[in-house]
Structure 1
Amino acid sequence: MSFSTTQSHNSDPIIQQKLIIYLQEPDAHNVIIRMLYPRLVQRSYGREKRFFCPPPIVYIGGPGWRKCADDIAKTQESDNLLLNQRGSILNENLRWYCELGLNDEQTHLSSNIEFALVNASYYNELLGSGLHISNADKRKYFRMTLSLEAFRGPTTLNPVRRLGIFETAPIHVISKPPKKQSSATVDTGYVRLKSGMKVAVCQRTRCQTFATKYMHVQSDTIIGSQGKWSCFYIYLVSLDDTDHDEDSFMGEDGFIKYGDVVRFVDCLTGVCTPNLTVRKIDDGNVILDPNSTEFVAQLHRVAFQMNGVAYWSLSGTQIVQREVHAHTLTHHEAIDSIAWITVEADFCELKYYEALGPTKDLVTPIPVVTMADMGGTSEENSYIEIRGYGLSGDLEVWFGLIAARVETANDGFMRIKVPAPRGVLHIANNYPRVVKYFYDEEYRIAKVAVPITLVRRDGIIYPTDVSFHYNCTDVGGIGDIFMKEVFEKQQVEFEKSIPDQNTSRESAEEDRGIFNVMTDEDDDNFPPSFS
């Protein structure tokens, strides 16, 4: 892997002016693409098709789509005028194409996306419910690819504009999970649940995905949904945690065993479940074995005990406490509504803004920063190192409105000299909405937070979750680096005023709360049927 070195350069005044507008309100300009997908899938055999569970979902949103469409329409109009084309072609609406599939150029799912206008933001989603791996495909790993194109009309100079090709992380393929996790097989290590892993949680009453309901967070509430699912962190709760706080807990590392207490935390919003004890389901019974040493496997049916005979359950779209019959002290009734399946999943959220208008090149690869560190403490020797993917020497790194010197860069690593605080803050003070002043209570020092932004040489702005906190005094060095947690981000681009047809409830049901206790007498039709 080759490294490149970029020399110091002055800040481009045109890019600087665009950044002044952008950094004051980034959410008003971003084009956002979010992908949720499984990291573990089962291979299909014969005529049986084991569709990916959960199915990959692509969300497209953000106000930046409006500007993207307007800019493309302007170039379409210019092209038509150059070709002396008038009439209906000039006013033809843009047609967007989204193709999601495997990276073998053979198996794919294609869909034509019709963009809708919701609160001045474009919002669409594509559900890849028909994807599967056949027995003829012997790969142990593969990636899914997403391709986005805009069709501008048959008579334009460039009728199709390709935005880019987006790729997921590697996805592992297995035949089926081992029946017992105590057995030593090739797939055993891959299918065990581990604390800190990102997962999807669902209920399946039949083998096809249309009968599956997933745990999904909407309006800070965990619900059940057939068409949407959320990515959760699963954490092993420490036995030393005696606080019993609904919003905080002590986590532990390691693989998860039956009888352990866990919590699910939504990756995007931070909404979490209460403490849940993982119980094994076997032969129609929930097994309560206090001495179990068996590890919990993905794709196995498990129950989550809340207390006594009450279990984490699903009634329609509502999460409830479901009381079951206790056959013995160690065997409880295992009904479908308390049986859950957990599988490793992942998500990626990509943002960009074409500050200088549409570019000739693809917007991909979109750089993503996953880790940021700092070295040195003084103005002379301080630097930051960022790691991720999609990085390159063609990217400029801006501290607020000042371009920093990139010392070293490759696809996964960049080392940047920290600009002197005087120059950064002198310009930023004229634009108070670009920076944020605050007081650090721990160190009793005033600081100013400056966003770190990546800018490609053709004017594409890529925001990051990294900021640099300059110290406003000489005490404590020049400052420190800070990286925002995923669930601290604002997600208004997708959730705002977008109703879920699967989650309509009566107001009386909403008043009952999320954790209602249900018994057999409460609901004669329980568990719910799926049509």
Structure 2
Amino acid sequence: MDFFGGESAHADQTVVILHAKVAQKSYGNEKRFFCPPPCVYISGHGWRVIHAVCLVASRSLHHRLSLSLSFHVSLQLFACAKSLFISDQDKRKHFCLLLRLFLGNRQEVGSFQSRMIKVISKPSQKRQSMKNADLCISSCSRVALFNRLRSQTVSTRYLSVEGGAFIASARQWTAFTITMGRTQDEVEDEERRLLHTAPLSTRPPCINTVIRKVNKQHAILDVDEPVSQLHKCAFQFRDDPQAYLCLSNDTIVQYQVGLPLILLPPDSMVLNDGACWTIIGVEAVEFTFNLGLACIQAPVSPFPVITGLEVNGGGHVAMLEIHGENFSPHLKVWFGNSEAETMFKSPKSLLCVVPDVSVFSDGWRCLRRSVTVPLALIRLDGLIYRTSFSFTYTPELQPPPAIHDVFISDLQLSLCAESSSTSRLKVKLLLRVEMVQHLINELPGGILLRFKKRL
């Protein structure tokens, strides 16, 4: 059966959890709701019931909170939890979200866990350093941006994308990948790995801007320090220094900075509320599974997660150790459509025998190219867990013994056939030896095993 193509691939079911990396603690009677709110996206043709799904979320395994989540039914199911908060009675420094998913008939699909979230009291106003890297925004990380007029919760609008353009939404938000650009004059050192007030781009869509620190509606132009979680910032367009990314009447526009009515320092600009954004790091956790042809009633959880691969040995005998979480003896490792002999070591480790490359490509030893196959975990009842990892077979330059043996036997047969003529035998022998040596030098040899994470 083809697990990675055809109808099986079209039956995939995907659950994506989007959430912030940090959450502010509430004090007294106030409720600081998580901002942006945790979101759940459900997609894939494998879902048979898409209009009646019940979601229950909890902040931890011990503290459960039922939520009334609404859905926006379009190409995918969407839900957001806008009423989550942490009281001052909760002393934990970190926590995670637990999503329990049910079908309309109350059949449990499974439980899905987010990444760890750090609890903070309030945004830090101090200059951050490498010692507090977890509170800084790093280049190539995911971020969310939101705007809140006059500090009113009801006026919060999140920067999102729809139809390839920026939009402002009161419910949905987009996780942007933010990358730092460099000028030729900048020094390449470890400290610059953190996102400073330097050129950056966000995708999709992509805009080239300079991120500016905001202090009391003033964009500070000469500051150079790391950007921290929940910092106020502005995005100045590189091709037009007087223009900033701005929210205006629930639409995203370019705000043109005018001449100030009062004398200002040359290193600052006055902005309106719509051009002042709050930035926060976010996580996106994706779970993809496939029921295949089996009629599975058991929950898909605990969901196995692969965090790393380690290859042992090489050539014709190689073992692959898989590191991760939630492993069980009921899981088998599959290389593409080939099942590997799998041994359960612990809930965090699986060991399997790497299949021979000939299973995936006939005549591979005569080719100078690598072969990459996806890795999957399949439960004994037929449930397929997709992963983002793949395994690559790479040819090496040394000739394998098998190819050498084939040509030696061919040479012996030739000697027997030409034994009637001594002179012709010598000439034939020299030609055959030279030809065999030339072919052996040209053909690839054994197998150099490599693994990589699939993007």
**TM-score grouping bracket, smaller chain normalisation:** 0.7 to 0.9
CA–CA distance in structure 1, aligned partners of residues 70 and 233 of structure 2: 37
Which residue is 1:497 aligned to? Answer: none
SS at match of 2:201: strand
Match of 1:50 among 14, 29, 32: 32
Letter in 2 for 1:365: P
Which residue is 1:215 aligned to? Answer: 159
What is the 5 A alignment of 1:122-137?
Answer: 123-137=76-90
Residue 378 of structure 2 is aligned to residue 455 of structure 1: yes
How big is the shift at 1:131?
Answer: 0.8
Distance change in 2, residues 1:397/1:282 (3 Å): same
Unaligned runs of 5+ in 2: 396-442
Post-superposition Cα deviations, 1:48-69, rounded to whole Å, max 9, x if no partner, equal 2111001001111211112xx5
Post-superposition Cα deviations, 1:29-59, rounded to whole Å, max 9, x if no partner, equal 0111111011201111223211100100111
SS at match of 2:14: strand
Letter in 1 for 2:12: N
How big is the shift at 1:345?
Answer: 1.1
Which residue is 2:102 aligned to? Answer: 149
Return the TM-score normalized by structure 2: 0.77
2:3–2:337 contact (8 Å) kept in structure 1:
no
CA–CA distance in structure 2, aligned partners of residues 113 and 176 of structure 1: 29
Match of 1:398 among 326, 331, 334: 334
Instruction: Note the aligned Cα RMSD (angstroms).
Output: 3.4
Which residue is 2:281 aligned to? Answer: 344
1:35–1:348 contact (8 Å) kept in structure 2:
yes
Number of corresponding residues? 398
CA–CA distance in structure 2, aligned partners of residues 332 and 114 of structure 1: 41
CA–CA distance in structure 1, aligned partners of residues 5 and 303 of structure 2: 18
Distance change in 2, residues 1:286/1:221 (3 Å): same
Match of 1:309 among 235, 242, 245: 242
Which residue is 1:171 aligned to? Answer: 117
Post-superposition Cα deviations, 1:334-370, rounded to whole Å, max 9, x if no partner, equal 2112111111211111111122534343211222334
Q: Percent same amino acid at aligned positions?
A: 30
SS at match of 1:275: strand
CA–CA distance in structure 1, aligned partners of residues 249 and 352 of structure 2: 52
CA–CA distance in structure 2, aligned partners of residues 60 and 445 of structure 1: 42
CA–CA distance in structure 2, aligned partners of residues 225 and 277 of structure 1: 24
RCO greater where, 1 or 2, for CA within 8 Å and sep 6 or more? 1
1:313–1:338 contact (8 Å) kept in structure 2:
yes
CA–CA distance in structure 1, aligned partners of residues 58 and 392 of structure 2: 42
Which residue is 1:363 aligned to? Answer: 300
CA–CA distance in structure 1, aligned partners of residues 19 and 11 of structure 2: 26
How big is the shift at 1:144?
Answer: 1.2
What is the 5 A alignment of 1:1-16?
Answer: none
1:96–1:112 contact (8 Å) kept in structure 2:
no
CA–CA distance in structure 2, aligned partners of residues 137 and 476 of structure 1: 58
Residue 315 of structure 2 is aligned to residue 333 of structure 1: no
1:95–1:114 contact (8 Å) kept in structure 2:
no
Post-superposition Cα deviations, 1:398-418, rounded to whole Å, max 9, x if no partner, equal 112211123564333434322
Return the TM-score normalized by structure 1: 0.66
1:51–1:208 contact (8 Å) kept in structure 2:
no
Residue 193 of structure 2 is aligned to residue 254 of structure 1: yes
SS at match of 1:422: helix
Letter in 2 for 1:481: F
Match of 1:421 among 354, 357, 366: 357
Post-superposition Cα deviations, 1:165-198, rounded to whole Å, max 9, x if no partner, equal 11111111111122222699x9x55422222333
1:195–1:252 contact (8 Å) kept in structure 2:
no
Which residue is 1:295 aligned to? Answer: 226
Which residue is 1:103 aligned to? Answer: 60
Letter in 2 for 1:406: T
Which residue is 2:146 aligned to? Answer: 202
Match of 1:264 among 192, 199, 202: 202
Which residue is 2:168 aligned to? Answer: 224
Post-superposition Cα deviations, 1:265-324, rounded to whole Å, max 9, x if no partner, equal 4xxxxx3533322212123311111xx343322112111222322222234555443221
